[in-house]
Amino acid sequence: MKTIIIDSGGTTSDWAVLEQGHVIDVFVTEGMHPMKNELNSIINNTFSAHQSLKGANTIHFYGAGTSSKHLINRIRESFKDQAIASQQLHIESDLLAAARALCGTNQGIVCILGTGSNSALYDGVSLTKWVSSGGYLLGDEGSGYHLSKTMIINYLRGMLSEESTSILRKHFEDNDVDLLTAIYTSVNPNAYIASFTQLLSLLSETDRHNCIAPCFDEFIQKRILPLYESGIGLYFTGSISFHFKKELEEALKTVNLQSEKVEPKPIEALIEYHIENL
């Protein structure tokens, strides 16, 4: 029995191949959101490039956009060339992947803070309640997009120190108009904006705090507290929660909360969950 596990994020997708309960391959490809026109070619190229995928009996695909029947059908259609029986292609949300990886069979609030953001209440088996992300146009609080957008706004409006402004000027376009043009003409403006997140670490401590803290505060108020019940643990995954763990913990502390676990990616623990439970 060969099983493929795919945890697809906004920027990258983690793949794992299990055979008879043992990991035989792990690798990374670009993100595979079902709204991407090139989804089918990404999948076909990946199967062509990795012999370990041949002969798979079951595929577990976790990703964003899986709450829509239309997008689920797009994912199924994209796997049609791989000779996988429809009933053996299991399509679930990236939130369930995070919940299974971080919480296992325990109850908890699971949060993803990456290019975008998401949160849900997990009962140890399934997701029972969540607050809609709304995507980057309407929400994505606390995400890499949100943090970077705040930093760029503060830069454009002269709200950063001279030191931080000088640092960012070296990394941005030649002038403000070029920066805005690059953002508004980008094919994926949210991912383009989120790509500047690494620059936050170069800012002065005060400027970094003023960019990050409001975003995490908003995520907590809008995306965690509506789900929270006394005694429930908070679990985080994603590059933003991991790289800015200190700032995240400080924001949680302001409302007397703390995280149970913070992991950069759920794939390793997700593999263990599948070996032990599925």
Judge whether 187 and 82 are in contact, CB under 8 Å.
no
User: CATH 3.40.50.300: does it fit domain 2-104+266-277?
Assistant: no
pLDDT means over runs of 10, the chain (278 residues): 86 89 90 75 88 88 82 83 74 93 93 92 93 88 96 96 93 84 89 93 96 97 93 93 95 95 91 86
Query: Is 82 in contact with 111 (CB distance < 8 Å)?
Result: no
Q: What is the pTM of this model?
A: 0.86
- Residue 198 CB partners (closer than 8 Å, separation 6+): none
Per CATH, 2-104+266-277 and 108-263 having the same topology is answered: yes
pLDDT of residue 85: 66
**Separation of alpha carbons 11 and 195, rounded Å:** 10
Q: How far apart are CA 46 and CA 17, in angstroms?
A: 13
Residue 237 and residue 101 in contact, taking contact as beta carbons nearer than 8 Å = yes
Q: Token pair 């994926």 is at which residue?
A: 188
Residue 166 has a pLDDT of 92
Pick the CATH number of 108-263 from 3.30.420.40, 3.30.70.20, 2.30.40.10, 3.30.750.24: 3.30.420.40
Q: Parse the chain into domains and list their residue ranges.
A: 2-104+266-277, 108-263
Q: Which two tokens stand for residue 151?
A: 């930093």
Length of the chain: 278
CA–CA dist 231, 133 (Å, integer): 24
Q: How many other β-carbons are positioned within 10 Å of the β-carbon of residue 204?
A: 14
Cα 13 to Cα 18, 46, 80, 153, distances in angstroms:
16, 11, 19, 30
User: For residue 83, what pLDDT is reported?
Assistant: 64
Pick from 17, 77, 81: nearest CA to 52: 17
